[in-house]
């Protein structure tokens, strides 16, 4: 895979340098910390003109640096839910998320809050692509991302391991998010950009939550909604520690 952009490559150098195969730099590249880490971690590097770099990885937002890295490795879902430590991660189940940009934003968001893991279905959803990694800006190094064959089955397994399941929905019986006393350990289900949570998944929810909006009757996309949910979840989790 290709990793590109200063932040994405910098965080990979800091967190998982062993996954970097080679780095290509524009001949006038400026980034003292990146250059120091490349030398410190003994990463193979090649310097080239802008046109040559564009041939390595066509596209915009390269910021003068491209890295070839090992394929993304998904975390074990069983390992994630069976973590019996003091602070079990909040698990976000993404139901039919098709936009890699939104996936990247969510990865970056949960990395900033900390204590989250992500679960995506193997079918009818986007994977962790180069575009998603670029938008994540290095967040993938700090968030376990699992891929499962059956999302409903994974939710049931989480419940069997003590997790409460809350879903973001606009249904009439949903409670305002800021009025809910959130139980932990928690699994949070977020639906697709256009259709929300499927009925087959929604029936496993213990709690239905909605984001109260006082302005225009529009809607948040899934990446924006995830940030709001993660903020409230993190605030309540800190409050019970």
The domains located in the chain, with CATH, are 2-69 (3.30.1330.30), 77-239 (3.40.1280.10)
pTM of the model as a whole = 0.94
pLDDT given at position 241: 53
pLDDT given at position 193: 66
pLDDT given at position 83: 72
Q: Give the 3-state DSSP-derived string for the chain, with helices as H, strands as E and coil as C.
A: CEEECHHHHHHHHHHCHHHEEEEEEECCCCCHHHHHHHHHCCCCEEEECHHHHHHHCCCCCCCCEEEEECCCCCECHHHHHCCCCCCCCEEEEECCCCCHHHHHHHHHHHHHHCCEEEEEECCCCCCCCHHHHHHHCCHHHCCCEEEECCHHHHHHHHHHCCCEEEEECCCCCCEEHHHCCCCCCEEEEECECCCECCHHHHCCCCEEEECCCCCCCCCCCHHHHHHHHHHHHHHHHHHCC
Question: Per the structure block, which two tokens stand in for 131?
Answer: 């575009």
241 residues of the chain, pLDDT tens digit each: 999 999 999 999 999 999 999 999 999 999 999 999 999 999 999 999 999 999 999 988 899 999 999 999 999 999 999 876 667 999 999 998 999 999 999 999 999 999 999 999 999 899 999 999 999 999 999 999 999 999 999 999 999 999 999 999 988 899 999 999 999 999 999 997 677 899 889 999 999 999 988 888 778 899 999 999 999 999 999 875 5
pLDDT given at position 82: 83
Beta strand pairing status for 145-148 and 116-121? parallel
Q: Minimal CA–CA distance to 222: which of 90, 110, 105?
A: 105
């Amino acid at each position: 895979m290709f990793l590109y952009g200063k932040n994405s490559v910098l965080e990979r150098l800091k967190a998982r340098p062993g996954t970097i195969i080679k780095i290509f730099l524009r001949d006038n590249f400026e980034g003292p910390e990146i250059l120091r880490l490349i030398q410190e971690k003994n990463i193979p590097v090649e310097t080239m003109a802008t046109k040559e770099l564009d041939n390595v990885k066509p596209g915009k937002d390269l910021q003068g640096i491209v890295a070839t890295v090992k394929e993304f490795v998904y975390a074990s879902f069983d390992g994630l839910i069976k973590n019996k430590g003091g602070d079990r991660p909040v698990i976000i189940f993404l139901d039919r998320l098709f936009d890699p940009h939104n996936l990247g934003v969510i990865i970056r968001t949960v990395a900033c809050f900390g204590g989250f893991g992500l679960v995506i279905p193997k079918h009818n959803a986007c994977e962790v692509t180069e575009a998603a990694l670029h938008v994540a800006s290095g967040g993938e190094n700090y968030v376990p991302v699992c891929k499962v064959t059956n999302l409903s089955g994974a939710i049931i397994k989480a419940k069997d391991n003590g997790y409460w399941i809350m879903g973001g929905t606009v249904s009439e019986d949903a409670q305002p998010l800021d009025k809910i006393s959130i139980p932990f350990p928690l699994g949070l289900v977020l639906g697709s950009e256009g259709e929300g949570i499927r009925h087959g998944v929604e029936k496993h929810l213990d709690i239905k939550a909605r984001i109260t909006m006082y302005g225009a009757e529009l809607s948040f996309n899934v990446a924006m909604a995830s940030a709001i949910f993660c903020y409230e979840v993190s605030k309540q989790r800190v409050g019970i520690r």
